[in-house]
Amino acid sequence: MVLAVCLMMSACITPQASNTPDNEKGNLHTSTDTIAYASKLKPQMAGLIARSFDYVDTINPDIKVLSIVNGIVLKVSWRDLQPDNGTTINHPNEIDQAIAFAKRMNAENPGLNLKIKLRVHCGVFSPEWLKKKVGSFDIEPSNDYQSDNPADTKVPCFWKDSYQVAFESLQTQLAALYDTVPEIAEVVNGGTGVVFAESFMRKAGSKGKTKQNTINYLSAGYTIEQDEASIKKSITAMRSWKQTRVSMAFNPFAAIRNANDVSDDAQKAIGIMDYFIKSLGPQAVMGNNGLRDKDADNADRWQPGGDMYTISNAMKSYHVKNGNGVYYQTAAGGKLGDFSRVIDLGVSLGAGSIELPGGSASFLRNYTIDELKKFDKALEQQAAH
């Protein structure tokens, strides 16, 4: 999507170097680092969040709603940022346009404090030059992902070192441009996501189309060990960002052993969560993109004994113990169940922000401004500052 905003580049980009002390290993925080580091960080994206600029009218914005839902997720494809090579960022781009919109809204509406969460989609949305360089494999279309573009079914071999070098370079360049921009409050690590910016989601299984995906992974040289290592490398790559919170979606780790043996491993995901917290300290924001209530599809996974119950409570524990931020995105509108119960669940799990499943019009049909303010306030009180 292209935002309907015109801008001058110098108005929104202020590159500035910033150094953060590391310990001897270079990728884990000491307690001394944490105190110094936290003082430089921007606050976590807080409250109710619009999960996409697609849901925001940038020509005639609803200021009454934006004053409550004053955070917007910007989804950008890696291939649009670096269409030709990995040495430069393409300008002007959707990030520049989003920043210009936020600056304009904040200037015209004092106290609005509109912020942006940057979510770069990799996987099938990686540049063609990168897919050719590292190799790729096909992902079969699914209920939640369809495309008529053959390029949109090819996933680069994200576990290869050459891929991780390119991803780290992308983050270094983005951070140099946008880390000091106050409107960019949070950036997502989705470096090993295959379709969406969800680092653990593999769309692999032992039946039907997911079985064919499994075969494609294995034929491309995938191993469980390489997968886990690549996720950790993507976390390390995010350390180019010094002032901006880094969020990451946590799901069970997909252990792909062979075409007939694919299983979900919540404990391995929690182990990587621990690495995430230790690597990025207070900068790390944990989350998940499928929050739902007890009457929704696959709700059993969120109940005691379920894998998402285990993972979400691990995130809450880190939030309580260390003060790290937690975010959730609700499941799609038809899958989340009762909206108010979903918000209550998110609050009970320590969420400081929740990304909404639709535009403002759909919520105003069911909830008053005062009700939205109540939801927003409950979340903001738990956000990491």
Query: What is the pLDDT at residue 37?
Result: 53
Burial class (CB in 10 A: 0-12, 13-18, 19+), 332: middle
pLDDT, one tens digit per residue, over 149-161 is 766 899 999 999 9
In this predicted structure, what is the pLDDT of residue 122? 97
Average pLDDT score, the chain: 88
Residue 243 lies in a domain: yes
* CATH assignment of the domain containing 269: 3.20.20
**What is this structure's pTM?**
0.89
Question: Considering the domain boundaries, does residue 12 fall inside one?
Answer: no
Q: What is the band of 369 on the pLDDT scale with cuts at 50, 70, 90?
A: confident
* Helix or strand (DSSP H, E) at 208: helix 208-219
> In 10 A of CB 96, how many CB atoms?
23
DSSP assignment letter at 55 = G
Q: What is the mean pLDDT of residues 138-142?
A: 80
Report if residue 5 sits inside a domain: no
- Domain residues for the domain of 335 are 22-380
pLDDT band per the 50, 70, 90 thresholds, residue 8? very low
How many structural domains is the chain composed of? 1
In a domain, 362, yes or no: yes
Is the pLDDT at 35 greater than 60, yes or no? no
Residues 348-366, mean pLDDT to the nearest whole number? 82
Token couple for 356: 């909404």
Question: pLDDT tens across 280-337, in order?
Answer: 999 999 999 999 988 888 889 999 999 999 999 999 999 999 999 999 998 876 677 7
> pLDDT: is 91 or 16 the higher one?
91
Amino acid at position 235, single letter: I
Position 10 in a domain: no
Question: Which three-class secondary structure state does DSSP give residue 270?
Answer: helix
pLDDT at residue 31 tops 80: no
Q: Decide if 164 is inside a domain.
A: yes
Is 385 part of any domain? no
**CB pairs under 8 A, 24+ apart, for 130-136?**
130/78, 130/86, 130/156, 130/163, 130/166, 131/156, 133/162, 133/166, 134/158, 134/160, 134/162, 134/163, 134/166, 135/160, 135/220, 135/221, 136/220
Establish if 7 belongs to a structural domain: no
Mean pLDDT is lowest, of 15-24, 261-270, 301-310, for: 15-24
Q: How far is Cα 361 from Cα 381, in angstroms, rounded to an integer? A: 25
Q: Are 262 and 206 in contact (CB under 8 A)?
A: yes
Confidence of residue 23 (pLDDT cuts 50, 70, 90): very low
